[in-house]
A and B are shown apart, each in its own frame.
Chain A
């Protein structure tokens, strides 16, 4: 499933790089806010659910090659993070739901 399809089914809001959502494939899901932990555990193709919208999060997304970042519970993305995400083709989405609720929905879809 593409990030675009996931966005539609879960009614997620685009925060940046909407244009890339169709080409990114979601094959799994990972929940975590401790960036160093995520760095060594998330795998490529994961939809990464987190509340960490800072510039380091973007580095983690690039390093792990996750399909997208989904900021849960309306967690904000810093301006620097959005800029870095745009430069590095990282798709960021947002939702008011918590990580558990989103993960449950994703597990039904993939």
Chain B
């Protein structure tokens, strides 16, 4: 079955994410737009995933707990997990590798942790938009240790992408998928980097504001609409 997906969405916990990106707004907006499956991928944290998971379950939308990891070379990687527990354990690990720089909300934005009623139950004090201690060459194996899968984010962007920062993408990294933000660039990128022909190409919104969430365009063809079926597909 073909599922409309968006596996790269930020909440109000990402400093650059709008305060309107609350768990309920994200899920309800995604449902309204007709998505079958979404993931939450805040920068270097999964702490808003429990709230989104509860709301998604009530609304009958498949939810994949995730994170947009910043590697030590500042390459952004979408990480997706089979369970909330795995995502949260990975989140703890990532935090232990980050520099203890405090967020300055007036400059970077607030980092709000919410419950399932959109109540703010805490603020992440460590600045989340810094590099973790995980290198890009180790990321696939590291995420596998937490039963997750991962792929390089917005490879067509001029910053924080594997192509802008490292210049290449090849089998060495072990990725099975890659994300292109502007899918019209797919052919051009494949010509320049033929290895992309061997990967599944995904396109997500990377929404930081509700208005960045776009109408469903891309689909994945999976056996059934479950987290397991989706991640098994992305991982094969």
Contacts and interface: CB of A to CB of B under 8 A. Distances in A.
Contact of A56 (B99, B101, B104, B129): B129
Interface residues of A, number: 15
Contact of A36 (B104, B107, B130): B130
A36 B74 contact: yes
Nearest to B130: A36
Main secondary structure of the interface of B (DSSP, over half): loop
A39 B101 contact: yes
B40 interface: no
Interface string A45-74: 000000010111011001100000000000
B107 A62 contact: yes
A34 interface: yes
Interface string B153-164: 000000100000
Interface residues of B, number: 13
Nearest to A36: B131
A35 B104 contact: no
B129 A63 contact: no
Interface class of chain A by DSSP: helix
B108 interface: yes
Given A39-B99, A52-B159, A63-B101, 7 more contacts: A34-B74, A34-B131, A35-B130, A36-B70, A39-B101, A58-B107, A59-B108
A-B complex: 10 closest residue pairs judged by Cβ atoms = A36-B131, A36-B130, A62-B107, A59-B107, A59-B108, A54-B159, A40-B99, A34-B74, A56-B129, A39-B101
